[in-house]
Chains A and B, each alone.
Chain A
Amino acid sequence: MSKPEAVKEPSMEMQKAMIARNYDAITSKHETGRKVSSTFVPGNLNELLMCFDIVNNLPEINAIQAGMRKASGGYIMEAEKSGHSEDVCTYVKADIGQMSKGNIAPNGKPYPNPDVLMLSYTGCYTFMKWFELLREEYKCPTLMLHVPYEGDGHSTKNMRDYIVKQLKEVVIPGLEQVSGVKFDIDRLRQYLRNSAKAEDNLVWCLEQGKVKPSPIDAYFGGVYYIGPIFTAFRGTEDAVSYYEMLRKEVQGRIENHQGPLTPEGTYFNDQKYRLIVEGPPNWTNFREFWKMFYDEGAIVVASSYTKVGGLYDQGFRHDPDNPLESLADYCLGCYTNLNLPTRVDLLAKYVEEYEADGLLINSIKSCNSFSAGQLMIMKEVERRTGRPGAFIETDLVDPRYFSAANVKNRLESYFQMIEQKRRGGGSKTVAA
């Protein structure tokens, strides 16, 4: 028996159509003659790639798509057959495995080989190894933009200049060479103008998590909200329209005192627990995972994952007046490029500002970059805010690492713990 289709809102339908168009653009490379790049989500240079008419393909997103379509398990096993260890990032293995299974895109057509690997390194060490493997496979040029890690919690002018210099001397000439298109900074400025417009509306939407009941779920719903801006659409007119539409939908829910729609098609209004969530979601059991939350009345009012491709809510906007510098700032400020104290500051701030009951961490088994230090983060946020934290463990796209009974047990315990803490003195009679 097939599962009922998830209920989709107009903005989701629009996004679905945008993603489909992008996959068509990627897979019709040979007909259109457009060049294709592969690049990563955090710190991607979408507006810059657009200046060279390069189509943007994101292996991470392809792995997520495979996870949600229940195809990633087979791809991962395939990658393991070719020698990749059990503990390697499952996005990588889904991508590699997919290659050896025909490399078919969600539209049923094969992915073409990329013309360039655009590696903007923003804190994830695996990215470098991943593209090494792809370079070996595709024998195409790799452009590396090295982004300095914000080890002491802030960026300096030096860091920014270093990135701008690389853009000028390595990345832009490299993209010109691959595409045969000459760089036009005014074209970049126009795209950045569109980005900033979309970013304003995205931030507005995400901040509505402060409203009670929250009209958004900033984690399970949030991954849809960030879709266009973090992928191949930032800078496009499509993205501007998408975020205008999303804003109207959220506004409508606020006016009707409604929560977000669940996949079951009901408005999630009876919100008992407000959570901040840190860490990526599990994609293979996404709906089952989400259901564990709304069945118990838990809504996510803010999450760090929705900042993984840019911390817009902290004030950053792409700036058409300083195009290359703002690209540098964007890369530097990605969530994955932040040190642990900065992540703690941000999460503690969310707990306070969004009046959350506590911080829940979904620690990803195969993601050492993101998961290292998360238990420390949780303890420190707990200490600062006085609100309880909880820790669950799943994986990105490896279905073998989602243990439903274990996750559910922990979540229910956590929600009941919050409930018990609220009642507070209820057990005083017990102590007597």
Chain B
Amino acid sequence: MRCFIGIDLGSTTTKAVVMDENLQILGRGITNSRSNYDTAAAVSKQEALIDTRLTLFRRALSNVPEVSGKVDDILSDLERNFRHVQFLEQLEDLQNTCIANIKGPRFAGREKVVIEALEGTFSRLRDSSAAQYAPGVKRKSDFFRDLAGAEFMSHGEAVCKEAGLGFDLILNVYDKSIIEVENRPPAGDMEGKFVRALEKGTMTGSSILAPVQSALAIPLEETYVVGTGYGRVRLPFPKEHIRSEILCHGLGAHMMYPDTRTVLDIGGQDTKGIQVDPVGIVENFQMNDRCAAGCGRYLGYIADEMNMGLHELGPLAMKSNKQVRINSTCTVFAGAELRDRLALGEKREDILAGLHRAIILRAMSILSRAGGVKDQFTFTGGVAKNEAAVRELRKLIKENYGDVTINIDPDSIYTGALGGATFAVRAVVN
């Protein structure tokens, strides 16, 4: 089948969306951009194609009366097993890379024991991985680096202790190797992995196997790919396959909510206020200038300052009932204000609430420069997932523009890629 793909190469994450020619979303994929846009584009695209397969399986299974009501379970089982197969494959790559990296004076005469320690560690990692992919387990991250890294630390330390070997020795090899593995374009043979996943699964009855295999046999033809985001120039596409993220976010927001007139996108590097017409064409836009004050990266910096995960910021800020006033959206100044407030004994949640408000105040300025907020208003980009930012935004939009409809899609992070995929369809179909 013909597939139309949009890839949004953001500074923090790279997203891909696969569409069919009827503008139906078939799959979405995301990965960390890891400063290597080539790999990030390849990974996100592959992830979106995996998701596309799952969509095709769902369609195939929906015609099988025997599995009626069980499709969700079957698919989640299949996906889990697929991810596990994928994880093991990458783990093997990591093990081989680690062993290949054992060289130089540091390891002189100790190669054998270090290899044994690594083999022991990876063997435990393989064993424990099944638990990570067991039904009902919520994984902390979707990225291989995070999942493998955490396990490596605990198993590696134990193995080294038993062998009387310094953990630093294998940790050093791991650090070097994970970067190589992470930056390697993903291995292909997606179909083979699905077959292995099916075999691992508990639901391998022929009523499932046949439709899944027929869905697997459908060729996914990359008809047209459109790239957007700051890394877009890295994509090996001709110029007409590249669209600015402003247009992609405008069109993507329109695809999600056709009545959208104003779009706010807070991305990693910039904030954009965009006005779109009734058919999704961008009419006007304004961006932050000179510095990225108040952008997504600001939150990342604050999270680092507070020694917290980025996703923990919003929930903690929501616990605040007394907002601390933070005036600075300059990332470094805000860091200084934060330390100052902490020193004064203010609560972390109250400071965080103030920081979220500072970001949104900055976004409000960009929105007003772009011509204000019109009904309907759609908030896109990674920060749209942050509940504290959303709370402030709702409050300020209501104060300044009244009761406009505010749309926030759970998949808002894919808005740019969705717009890109739509452009891809248009380039061929229209």
Contact = CB atoms under 8 A, between A and B. Distances in A.
A413 B422 contact: no
Interface string B278-317: 1111111111011000000000000000000000000000
B258 A413 contact: no
B247 A420 contact: yes
Interface in A404-419: 405-406, 409-410, 412-413, 416-417
Given A406-B289, A410-B287, A431 B244 contact: no
A253 interface: no
B280 A427 contact: yes
A410 B230 CA distance: 12
Contacts of B278: 431
Contacts of A431: 254, 258, 278-280
Given A427-B426, A430-B251, A431-B279, A379 B371 contact: yes
Interface in B227-276: 230, 243-247, 251, 254-255, 258, 270
A355 interface: no
Interface in A390-408: 390-391, 393, 401, 403, 405-406
B369 interface: yes
A428 interface: yes
Nearest to B282: A417
B282 A420 contact: yes
B91 to A, nearest CB: 37
B430 interface: yes
A70 interface: no
Given A393-B290, A421-B281, A430 B246 contact: no
Interface residues of B, number: 30
Given A427-B280, A430-B255, A413 B247 contact: yes
Interface residues of A, number: 29
A424 B283 CA distance: 11
B209 interface: no
Contact of A409 (B244, B251, B426): B244
A365 to B, nearest CB: 7
A382 B277 CA distance: 14
A426 interface: yes
B302 to A, nearest CB: 23
Given A413-B247, A417-B247, A388 B283 contact: yes
Interface of B: 23, 230, 243-247, 251, 254-255, 258, 270, 278-287, 289-290, 369, 371, 422, 426, 429-430
12 contacts: A365-B290, A412-B244, A413-B245, A416-B247, A417-B281, A421-B283, A425-B279, A427-B281, A427-B426, A429-B426, A430-B254, A430-B258
Interface of A: 365, 375, 379, 382, 388-391, 393, 401, 403, 405-406, 409-410, 412-413, 416-417, 420-421, 424-431
Given A417-B283, A420-B281, 7 more contacts: A375-B369, A416-B243, A417-B282, A417-B285, A427-B254, A427-B281, A430-B23
